Structures are given as C-alpha cells and as structure tokens.
C-alpha cells in the first residue's frame, strides 16, 4: 500500500515538473501574436483593414488616372480639330473641296438675305456632327459633342443647346433639299466660317 502511494506521489511530482518546465520554456520563446514575437499573427480583422486601406488608395489612383485620361482625350480632340483641313465652297457650284478631296452637294450653295445657304446634311457630314430630320415637325437637328442646334423649315427661331435664338433667315426646302444658313449652324457647333467676296467662296473650318 505504501509502495502504491509512493508511486502515485512520484507521478504527480513528475507531472508538476513537466508543467513547470513548459511554462519557463514558453517565457523564453514568445507566443506568435504577442509583443515579443517578430511576426504579428495576422487576424481577419487586421487583413480586412489592410485590404480596405489598399483598395482606398487604388480607387483614388484610378480616379486620378481617369481624370488625366479625360484631359488628354480633350487635348487630342482639339489637336485633331486643328489638323482638319478647311472646306471650300463656291456659290453656284454643287461641289466642295477639302484638301485634294472633291465632295458633291445635293444643291449648290446660294445667298439669301446676305446669308449663305447650304444643304443641312452636307454641313453635318463635313463637321462630323450627327444629323437627324423630323419629317412631321420639318425640323433638322445637328449634334456635335455637347453642342446641339435645331432648325425648323420656315421658322426664324432656332434652338441652340436648349436656348431659343433668332435667325436672320429661315431654313427652306428647295427642290426637296433642306437648305439652312451656314454661319448660324457653324457658330452653334463651334466651327468657323470665312467669306471671300471676290472669289464668291466660303471657307468652312470644322
């Protein structure tokens, strides 16, 4: 009986010794995630915060790049506009010239009330504007970027970007062709027009 008790006491003593040794060993080598550990333990909350910060910075950089790209696109468009060759039109001739290219008109330009009249579709084509025709309202609409000009057959009022503007001469239908005042449309779409009286020519700079 005494031998059995002595054996149990020995086992308990051995277990206590092992426990003590493990505690001292743990003190010498810090557990991961504690202050003494060189590599902090990565938790989900830590990773979420880190990713949120990184994504926030990336979104700012993407927004900045988009802004710079938009500015660059606008500069390129302005440069391209300068490189576009002017269009030369002569009164009474149903042809126009742009560089070496000869273009046909549905009807020759003419002067009415001191304003040069041109086929509305031709103006849209050479200026790179979208053109629509409303047969019911008898209205021609030009759209070039953010610029919009609408004219109605027989009306001396037009719309430029939603504003009502008075015309010197009303658009008219001649031999089935809608003729509109060139300078008004060009000004409304941001183009320039030059009149050469001696040659009876109009220079359109898109």
Domain with residue 122: its CATH number is 3.30.457.10
- pTM score, whole prediction: 0.57
pLDDT for residue 27: 47
User: What SS3 class is residue 91?
Assistant: coil
Question: 190 and 93: one domain?
Answer: yes
Range of the domain at 158: 86-205
Residue 25 in domain: no
Question: 46 and 132: one domain?
Answer: no
pLDDT for residue 81: 60
Question: 194 and 103: one domain?
Answer: yes
Q: State how many domains the chain has.
A: 2
pLDDT for residue 149: 95
Question: 60 and 119: one domain?
Answer: no
Question: 63 and 94: one domain?
Answer: no
pLDDT for residue 26: 46
Question: 69 and 100: one domain?
Answer: no
* Share in percent of the chain as helix, strand, coil (round to 5): 40, 30, 30
Final residue belonging to a domain, choices 30, 53, 83: 83
pLDDT tens for the chain, 206 residues: list them: 455 555 555 555 555 554 445 444 444 444 444 455 455 556 777 777 878 887 888 888 888 888 888 888 887 776 666 567 899 999 999 999 988 889 999 999 999 999 999 999 999 888 888 999 999 999 999 999 899 999 999 999 999 999 999 999 999 999 999 999 999 999 999 888 999 999 999 999 87
Cα distances (Å, whole numbers) of residue 26 to 4, 12, 13, 17, 37? 33, 21, 20, 14, 12
User: What SS3 class is residue 178?
Assistant: strand
The tokens for 168 are 């010197």
pLDDT for residue 29: 46
Residue 29 in domain: no
The secondary structure element, H or E, covering residue 148 is strand 147-152
Residue 7 in domain: no
Question: 58 and 95: one domain?
Answer: no
Question: 76 and 97: one domain?
Answer: no
Question: 189 and 91: one domain?
Answer: yes
């Amino acid at each position: 009986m005494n031998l059995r008790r002595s054996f149990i006491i020995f086992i308990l003593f051995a277990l206590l010794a092992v426990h003590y040794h493990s505690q001292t060993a743990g003190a010498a080598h810090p557990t991961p995630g504690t202050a003494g550990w060189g590599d902090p333990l990565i938790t989900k909350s830590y990773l979420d915060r880190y990713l949120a910060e990184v994504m926030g910075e990336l979104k700012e950089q993407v927004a900045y790049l988009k802004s710079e790209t938009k500015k660059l696109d606008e500069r390129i468009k302005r440069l391209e506009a300068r490189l576009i060759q002017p269009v030369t039109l002569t009164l009474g001739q149903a042809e126009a010239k742009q560089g070496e290219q000869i273009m046909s008109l549905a009807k020759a330009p003419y002067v009415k009330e001191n304003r040069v009249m041109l086929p509305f579709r031709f103006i849209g084509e050479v200026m790179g504007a979208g053109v629509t025709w409303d047969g019911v309202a008898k209205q021609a609409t030009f759209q070039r970027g953010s610029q919009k000009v609408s004219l109605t057959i027989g009306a001396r009022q037009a719309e430029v970007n939603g504003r009502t503007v008075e015309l010197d001469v009303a658009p008219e239908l001649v031999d089935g062709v809608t003729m509109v005042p060139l300078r008004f449309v060009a000004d409304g779409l941001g183009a320039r027009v030059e009149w050469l009286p001696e040659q009876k020519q109009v220079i359109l700079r898109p």
